[in-house]
Copies of this chain bind each other. A is one copy, B any other.
Amino acid sequence: MNRMTEFESSREDEAARAGWLYYVGGMTQDQIANELGVSRQRAQRLVSRAVSEGLVRVRIEHKIGACLELEAELVRRFGLQTARVAPSLGEAGDSARATAPLAATLLERILARPDPQVIAFGTGRSLSAMVGEVMQRPATEHKIVSLIGNIAPDGSASFYDVIMRMADKLRLPHYPMLAPVISETAEERALFDHLKPVQAVKKLASAADATFVGIGQMNDDAPIYKDRFISLEELRELQGAGAVGEIVGSFFNDEGQPVETPLTARIGSYRIEGGREAPIIGIAAGTNKLAAIRGALSGKLVNALVTDEPTARALLG
């Protein structure tokens, strides 16, 4: 095991060194191969590995004017604390990829605070992408808390295990939610609710200094349905009750008002209450999420938004 670790680390070392020579030193892969005494292909593989393992971090140090204006307008129109608008990555672009670096910067700002912070996280693709973009910071006494379990009814863990990866990356103590996203029955949910660890996590979450959540849409490609947390019937029921969006397991209609169905009594997530002082940062982009984002903004379920250019235009247009 120890050997394994050493081996891995020396391999990462090599990749990092290749990445350094390539990106900082501006050398060609041939030169790097020469410098490190390996073949050209190996140099190329090392560089590409350095990129894919996230050892190389690229950031754009310039606020594009158009995006700045959109941000200001979003803040004004929806009474937000903060808005971040990522430049469009084009038609085919992946919006989670676009928002991730901006969201990561917001998170880093929180992490940089000198006094211990409690930071709460939801789940979702956008959050997951954000994790990859966060740069490692010297850990202080912060705590990170999960707002929702990630065990699906079939017992499988969700792909987007935000909190574990985040905790691992930042070496921070973390408090996962020890409950299934959706219990079998309302009774079972109540049972979990009274568990001490769950209580403790909810208490932490309610006092979080910052909260990061994704905003899920409730049309037919709803993530919560696609990831098999709920069935098609349950989705239809929610849609019928007017649900247009979802934030950590709480459904809301186009005015941001809570939507209740028999299902909602079985959901094991912490419900964030609106109107908090501390930032509640929603991360969501894509035209298919428009209705959900509009609802969340109307109901002031979030007080900060990270989105992308086309989505911002659509929200304001």
Contacts and interface: CB of A to CB of B under 8 A. Distances in A.
B135 A24 contact: no
B24 A62 contact: no
B17 A64 contact: yes
Interface stretch (A90-98, A119-127, A287-295): A90-98
Given A21-B90, A114-B114, A58 B61 contact: no
Given A24-B89, A89-B21, A89-B27, A16 B64 contact: yes
Nearest to A91: B35
Interface stretch (A6-14, A76-84, A265-273, A297-305): A6-14
Which 6 pairs across A and B sit closest by C-beta, in order of nearness?
A: A16-B62, A25-B89, A23-B58, A55-B62, A35-B90, A57-B59
A31 interface: yes
Interface string A111-132: 0111000000000000000000
Contacts of A31: 90
B61 A56 contact: yes
B90 A20 contact: no
A56 B58 contact: yes
Contacts of A10: 65
B60 A24 contact: yes
B24 A64 contact: no
Contacts of A90: 21, 25, 27, 31, 35
A19 interface: yes
A31 to B, nearest CB: 7
A156 interface: no
A87 interface: yes
A232 interface: no
A302 B288 CA distance: 57
A93 B25 contact: yes
A135 B59 contact: yes
Interface string A40-78: 000000000010001111111111111000000000000
